[in-house]
Chains A and B, each alone.
Chain A
Amino acid sequence: MSTAAPFDVEAIRKDFPALNRLVRNDRPLIYLDSGATSQKPVQVLDAEREFYELHNGAAHRGAHLLSEEGTEIYEGARGKLAAFIGADDREVVFTKSATESINLVAYSLTGSIMPGDEILITESEHHANLVPWQQLAGRTGATLRWFTVLPDGRLDVDPALITDRTKIVALTGQSNVTGVNPPVADITRLAHEAGALVLCDGAQLVPHHPVDVRALDVDFLVFSGHKMLGPLGLGVLYGKYAQLEALPPFLSGGDMIEVVRMEGSTFQPPPARFETGVPPAPLAAGLAAAVDYLTRLGMDNVAAHEESLTAHAIDALLDIPGVRILGPTTTKDRGGAVAFEVDGVHPHDVGQVLDDQGIAVRTGHHCAWPLHRALGVQSSARATFYVYNTHEEVDALAEGVRYAKRFFGV
């Protein structure tokens, strides 16, 4: 085990094999795309491998030792995830992704939404927390409403949009473009006073900040394992138990049933009601190892490290003539996603020049097309930071952007 001292980035980096590889032109990889997916430490890879090597039985079925061990590992992971966000074990549902978690809620609510009801979202949502609500509105005849964004990317929270017609409010905990942390707890209080449910998209929040679902008081929180050092293919839905219990199943089949007869079936209570098929126990083992890793670092320390990198990146990029940052230019209520545009160089070309120097960033609209439109741009380049990033890498990003300007002669 490494990382004896809290936040020794050099020690942390040794745990991530991908950070040792060379990329284009034999340059070391500078990975600034953790907002899309994080790299994985050996502890996570080992946990997944150990599952397959020693405990590979189908969890929740079988009367043999391997199946029992698989069940223990899978349910143990649920407990770790629950403790990580301050929930009860039975309030944590494993899904394929944060996107599936949102779809689960949106589909399961279909029967309780009527024409004339309203669904409230925000203009800054990732498409994953936008399109499923458009679809729900289309299925039910409900009206979709949204908080708009201000020029600096913060939400224009108009309380008048929350009425007794509002049935659910769905909003991000941290924008994947501007990094903005909206006032989720305040909006949740207003929504609950109006009798509405609240779903928070925590895909960019949970990996980077300490989160306590009881303090936020949201009814549902979704996030994905692969953005928090865990394996690809496993997402989480947290729901207050009473709210989960009120929802009908989404995907149905084996494991989620109570009694099956040819005439019809009854279903398990949550969380089992929402999990069908052989459980992805090795992914859960990997995600549990990721939670252990983050817990050992301390989420306060993770957040502080990223805040320092973000402040550095904002300063270094704004120091370059012609660079505009989408989103706030201070770190107040703002996480570590720094999207920017460079006057005269298309984001895709900025990304290509950076890639040539071994620097991995995201380019495009980052699945937040309406947000880009609202901020008056077609697309952007985006750097995101995590536990393994260094200040030297931020300097390399800024130097890379300067080089892109020279390359394109602007």
Chain B
Amino acid sequence: MQLESMYQEIILDHYRHPHHKGLRDPHDAEVYHVNPTCGDEVKMRVALKDVGGGHVVEDVSYDSLGCSISQASASVMSDLVIGKPVAEAMRIGDAFLELMQSKGQGEPDEDLLEDAVAFAGVSKYPARIKCALLPWMAWKDATARALEEHDG
């Protein structure tokens, strides 16, 4: 069934029990992103920590309204990036973007993407790719602003 290939159990679990949901302090930047076609929205906060000349993602928290795919993606993303150096987290984000653009043909690196490999099936549905990317786009934007706070 195609439906099960999109709605993997991992995705449904994250949807029903999202991790890191609910806005938290302290934070360095907060952004609000919407998907204009469906109205899904996410408010996201990022806190960074300066470590030895670089930056580490200390915390990500969010409040969001949206479909199972966008909600689960926010949960998986926050698990993946919290505690990682910003540069490494950005590399994971790039790998996820590449997976979403793969039209169902991608061979995701499970060591890098962990639970996010479950979204491979979503990449076959052009209308849903934006759902999966919404939290990642918000996180990248918030992180860029947080870096300005730290370095600016």
B3 at the interface (CB under 8 A from A): yes
A 330-353 binary contact with B (CB < 8 Å = 1; else 0): 000000000000000011110011
**Once the chains bind, are A24 and B38 in contact (CB under 8 Å)?**
no
**Once the chains bind, are A356 and B1 in contact (CB under 8 Å)?**
yes
B 1-16 binary contact with A (CB < 8 Å = 1; else 0): 1110011000010000
24 contacts between A and B (CB under 8 A): A24-B2, A25-B1, A346-B67, A347-B38, A348-B66, A348-B68, A349-B7, A349-B68, A349-B69, A352-B3, A352-B6, A352-B125, A352-B128, A356-B1, A356-B3, A364-B38, A364-B39, A365-B38, A369-B39, A372-B39, A378-B40, A378-B65, A379-B38, A379-B39
B131 at the interface (CB under 8 A from A): yes
**Once the chains bind, are B2 and A356 in contact (CB under 8 Å)?**
yes
Q: How far is the CA of A346 from the CA of B11 in the complex (A)?
A: 14
**Once the chains bind, are A407 and B7 in contact (CB under 8 Å)?**
yes
Closest 8 CB pairs of A and B: A348-B67, A346-B67, A364-B38, A356-B3, A365-B39, A379-B39, A349-B68, A349-B67
Interfacial chain A residues near B40, Cβ < 8 Å: 348, 378-379
Q: How far is the CA of A364 from the CA of B131 in the complex (A)?
A: 12
Interfacial chain B residues near A25, Cβ < 8 Å: 1-2
**Once the chains bind, are A348 and B1 in contact (CB under 8 Å)?**
no
Q: How far is the CA of A379 from the CA of B2 in the complex (A)?
A: 24
Interfacial chain A residues near B67, Cβ < 8 Å: 346-349
Identify the interface centre among A346, A356, A379: most chain B CB within 10 Å of its CB: A346
Q: How far is the CA of A379 from the CA of B66 in the complex (A)?
A: 9
Interfacial chain B residues near A24, Cβ < 8 Å: 2
**How many Å from the CB of B116 to the closest CB on chain A?**
19
Chain B residue with minimal CB distance to A357? B3
Interfacial chain A residues near B128, Cβ < 8 Å: 348, 352
**How many Å from the CB of B122 to the closest CB on chain A?**
10
10 further A-B pairs in the complex, CB-CB below 8 A; given A369-B39, A379-B39: A24-B2, A25-B1, A352-B7, A356-B1, A356-B2, A356-B3, A364-B39, A378-B40, A379-B40, A408-B12
A178 at the interface (CB under 8 A from B): no
A166 at the interface (CB under 8 A from B): no
**How many Å from the CB of B143 to the closest CB on chain A?**
26
